[in-house]
Amino acid sequence: MTEPGQPEEALIALAGILVTEQSLEKTLRQVLEVACTTLWGGDEGGITLLEAAGPRTAFATSQTALLVDSSQYGAATGGPCVEAYRRQQILRIDSTASDQRWPEFAAAAAGAGLRSTLSVPLVVGGDGLGAMNIYCRRDNGFTSTDERLATKLGACASVALANARTYWRAASLTGELEMALSTRGVTDQAKGILMAQRGCSAEEAYYRLAAVAQQHHLTVLEVAGDLIQRTRAGE
């Protein structure tokens, strides 16, 4: 079991995460490491995030934690991590060997040697981002004191993760926009070449590019790029 850290230090660590200087995965890892180190029973852990296709474990401390975390997503009875973000409240299992609320998840956890769990919702402004599952290898690994501390950890972690997701989504959108502009530039250059060579309109030039692309099972961008290269080579 990891030696617990000081609550004040943990909150400072979470507040100090610089999301613009590291990947989303690294932010998730850092958040989970702080939570597992601070809570007495934090032997393993996983973070579930809500995606368009449904919940998924975005990061886990081990393959074991990943498999146990994932066991609840397709389970008929669900699991505490899923319920935690739905209810927006902390849920605790004192013994996975005897808890009856989520039998499929509990069986998977007990079979993996994870005897008790603490599920912490990640919520910002009333919106659920997901939840953290903290696992302990012994029964009764978490107390009401841990729950109170986990509430503070969850609040700080939620802000860090919300900022990280916003930043990386914006960065991804910027990259996609730059790629789209670059792609359009290549196609427009190729259209201009055809218009000059054949005296055709921009619409007809595009249809010629598309026809060649279809004939040779290529993309319009590939055909356009090839035309530009051949034209430059002939200059």
Tens of pLDDT, residues 73-118: 999 999 999 999 899 999 999 999 999 999 999 999 999 999 999 9
DSSP structural state of residue 115: -
Domain limits of the chain?
Answer: 7-171, 174-233
Interval 49-75 mean pLDDT = 91
| The token pair that represents 147 in the structure block | 């729950």
Distance CA 188, CA 207 (A): 13
pLDDT digits (tens, 9 = 90+) for 6-37: 554 554 444 445 445 567 778 788 888 888 88
> Is residue 22 a contact partner of residue 28, using CB atoms and an 8 Å limit?
no
Residue 93: phi, psi to the nearest 5?
-115, 120
Least confident window among 47-51, 70-74, 140-144: 47-51
CATH code of 174-233, in short, is 1.10.10.10
- Residues 42-61: what's their mean pLDDT? 90
What is the pLDDT averaged over residues 53-57?
A: 89
pTM over 0.85? The answer is no
The alpha helices in the chain, defined as continuous H runs, are: 7-15, 24-38, 63-70, 80-87, 103-111, 144-198, 202-215, 220-233
Output the six-digit token pair for 3: 């030696």
Architecture in CATH for domain 7-171: 2-Layer Sandwich (3.30)
